[in-house]
Structure 1
């Protein structure tokens, strides 16, 4: 009987001076992880050997020419660079950002070419990675361009899912960016994501207000009254279970989020502060809306602890498991939608 091929899990190494190397290698130091997937790290054997020695880890790598050559049961490393790279933990350095982009670019190309099935990204420094080739506020926008899709930052844990209408947008621009078209598009993306990636057949979604107290009927800004409320009503009229806008200050404290499959925040901190407060260390950043699956841990480069052998690997490990789980769920969904009678248990 032919064995089922394990999911090929690509990993970009992130900023070399951050905690990326530590959390990646410590995750796969546990050999049981190889039972779930075939890991393929886009970096350099020399660089990973530096981390291995620094953190006194006991694991071995298999150098390969490309992701297509990855070997099951091994920790595969595609050598994107072969030269020695100086690593200065905790330091913002454009040189380190250059290698972070080399890793991300190669991993993304492999994802587009179907050489890997899913991608998990270690944290980058959004400042040092900037170059002629990378002019994006983060991973999400870069992947949207490379995969030619409309991406959405979707923070997920077992008990909470938070999507964003706007992500890396300056606060002063939020009200001008949020339009009826944007609201409809983002809600459609989250609805489809919940169906195909999380097995929610009839998603129930809460939307948080743009202004404090959702504008207090126009006393604190008109955006909720003139843009958000009528757009949500239009979506409800089409039969979708979309509710709000809710005042953000009391929504999570009252545990109202437990009544919904997902929550949509109007801007970055409105959604991520409560998410990280409730789920930090267990949460995962999932890029919804794309034809490929990408996850990452819910934290950044953590320069303040880089190299000190104390980084928590839980969120990165959870990002690995979520990527694998979503891949399988989406495969199942696609089979059902291609052949709907199978859902009913009928033979064709």
Structure 2
């Protein structure tokens, strides 16, 4: 099987392949265009960590930074302009995919300032601002699924804005995300928005769950505990998919679908494997199911193109087996609720830290551009 045939098979199995990375370098060099052309890539996700990395490297942003410095832009305005420029250009590059898939794919995600993750009102305001600034129909505004994020998700969708809900770790929180999605669409309909024009994905994080649970299993050190390493993340995602099936088979969804709504697709995020002992394509191979998205770092995408084992649906009907994994984890002494709480707090903190690094980098670059002025 040729390299891209494996990605073609994944795509044919109904999984949308998105790249978990964006930089001006990728846009300018033609790298992103070639991934769309040759690797079946139909979308891009960004986050503060990705932008912090992109801006810290290379010279692609220098001319725009000089211009911003000359205009006396402050660091927040500069970051907004630099990141939204990349997202706008990427959205234009994906416009044909967007049109060709009827608006389902061809999407580029941009995240609200993670410092607002615990502030509903400010998240809603920032989401509206990003939507207006990028001004492309094929973007997603990313909002974290914190408790304060849930009403922000509803209010943003109610305004007719497409949302990528991020940082979902537990099935319980995922159910609340689906409810927030239903609330948002019902309000959008009442507000006179055409539901067919609103899209959403729910980003369910995968590898971080294994990393955290494995660490705790190793600390327990019993044979029972050690035998469960590497089981939690895939089981968790399969239980999430079962929740998706159940919720989207209900009457609330039937009424929204009748009104032209699109389902909120499950998106597998954080699919780069953290443990070198595990197959580097396991979070691709084990999560194949139609109507989902897998957003991959390029390294994972290359590994999948080279040796992914795509053998049809590996998710549907696996919920009972997945539940047994969680029962075993509990009986081995793992506090699952605490795992998810830890992961959410760490996730918000990590993006917050990256955002601070991004501001720091850009401030340094603005200062040096002014000095050279």
State if a TM-score over 0.5 links the two structures.
Answer: no
Higher-helix-fraction structure: 2
Higher-strand-fraction structure: 1
